[in-house]
Amino acid sequence: SQQGEEDPQALSIQEGENATMNCSYKTSINNLQWYRQNSGRGLVHLILIRSNEREKHSGRLRVTLDTSKKSSSLLITASRAADTASYFCATVLTGGGNKLTFGTGTQLKVEL
Amino acid sequence: GAVVSQHPSWVICKSGTSVKIECRSLDFQATTMFWYRQFPKQSLMLMATSNEGSKATYEQGVEKDKFLINHASLTLSTLTVTSAHPEDSSFYICSARTPGGWGQPQHFGDGTRLSIL
């Protein structure tokens, strides 16, 4: 089955609120990445966290990784309407070459 | 930097037609590119890994004779959907990894929406 499962599948919040998305995976990873996809477009890389890291920040984004629970979370603080998109986690498996295995994705809608 | 261009962005054609999609890395060399397929409101499924100068590596269940991949240069990979049928209609996305070993992110094209009538 697919490596990554994300929840929630869909999330609707008001502008200014924080959005948290979770990702779980099943096997050992080299790193985990988060991507954003606007409707009908390609993916944009947001942040990469390695298996030996626990937390990373980039602007309004905060990613955590718990390898013991095989899970990661993406927090977007002070959300904006422009953050409306689908967000995917993707893992590079240990010994899996450079292939990305994508999660199911979370559709985020930020309303004014 | 790290721009990937995909062309065309939208194709509509008749059943039985072969369609070629191009993926170019504009400002870096990519020895490896990836082709994905995405159905509406679903995740990306890796179809194949395209290696410059050698044969592509296909994922299980992907017909290599149906989806021909050519990676003739360090900046260009092509995916040809041969004798396309309505069930091949989908959103196809390519990506390329920037050089630098492990842990480099992939950079994605904007995708090609393929509609077979």
Q: What contacts A109, CB < 8 A, 6 or more positions away?
A: A10, A11, A12, A13, A84
pLDDT tens digits for chain A (112 residues)? 446 788 999 999 999 999 999 999 998 999 999 999 999 899 999 999 999 999 999 999 999 999 999 999 999 999 999 999 999 999 998 876 778 999 999 999 999 9
- What SS3 class is residue A83? helix
User: pLDDT for B3-33, tens place per residue?
Assistant: 999 999 999 999 999 999 999 999 999 889 9
- The per-residue pLDDT of chain B, averaged, comes to 92
Q: What contacts B105, CB < 8 A, 6 or more positions away?
A: A33, A45, A48, B97, B98
A84 strand-pairing partners:
none
Q: What contacts A56, CB < 8 A, 6 or more positions away?
A: A47, A48, A49, A62, A63
Higher pLDDT, A17 or B2: A17
- Are residues B106 and A50, on separate chains, in Cβ contact within 8 Å? no
Q: Is the pLDDT of residue B103 over 90?
A: no
Q: Are B88 and B115 in contact (CB under 8 A)?
A: no
How far apart are the CA of A100 and the nearest CA of chain B, in angstroms? 8
Of A41, A98, A104, the CB nearest to B32: A98
Q: pLDDT class for B105, splitting at 50, 70, 90?
A: confident
How far apart are the CA of A27 and the nearest CA of chain B, in angstroms? 17
Q: Is the pLDDT of residue B62 over 50?
A: yes
Q: Is the pLDDT of residue B1 over 80?
A: no
Q: What is the CB neighbour count within 10 angstroms for residue B40? A: 6
How far apart are the CA of B41 and the nearest CA of chain A, in angstroms? 9
User: pLDDT for B63-79, tens place per residue?
Assistant: 999 999 999 899 999 99
The amino acid sitting at A43 is L
pLDDT of residue A93: 85
**Which of A42, A31, A33, A24 lies closest to A86, judged by CA?**
A42
- Are residues B105 and A30, on separate chains, in Cβ contact within 8 Å? no
DSSP3 helix / strand / coil % (chain A, rounded to 5)? 5, 60, 40
Burial classification of residue A23, based on how many CB atoms lie within 10 Å of its CB (0-12 exposed, 13-18 middle, 19 or more buried): buried
CA A29 from chain centre, in angstroms, equals 15
Q: Are A4 and A29 in contact (CB under 8 A)?
A: no
Q: pLDDT class for B114, splitting at 50, 70, 90?
A: very high
- Are residues A41 and B95, on separate chains, in Cβ contact within 8 Å? no
**Which of B85, B81, B84, B55 lies closest to B68, judged by CA?**
B81
Which of B3, B4, B32, B43 to substitute to test the interface with A, most A CBs within 10 Å?
B43
Interatomic CA distance for residues B35 and A1, integer angstroms: 20
pLDDT of residue B99: 75
Interatomic CA distance for residues B8 and B23, integer angstroms: 9
State the average pLDDT over residues B36-56: 91
pLDDT of residue A1: 42
Q: Is the pLDDT of residue B104 over 90?
A: no
Q: Are B21 and B110 in contact (CB under 8 A)?
A: no
Q: pLDDT class for B101, splitting at 50, 70, 90?
A: low
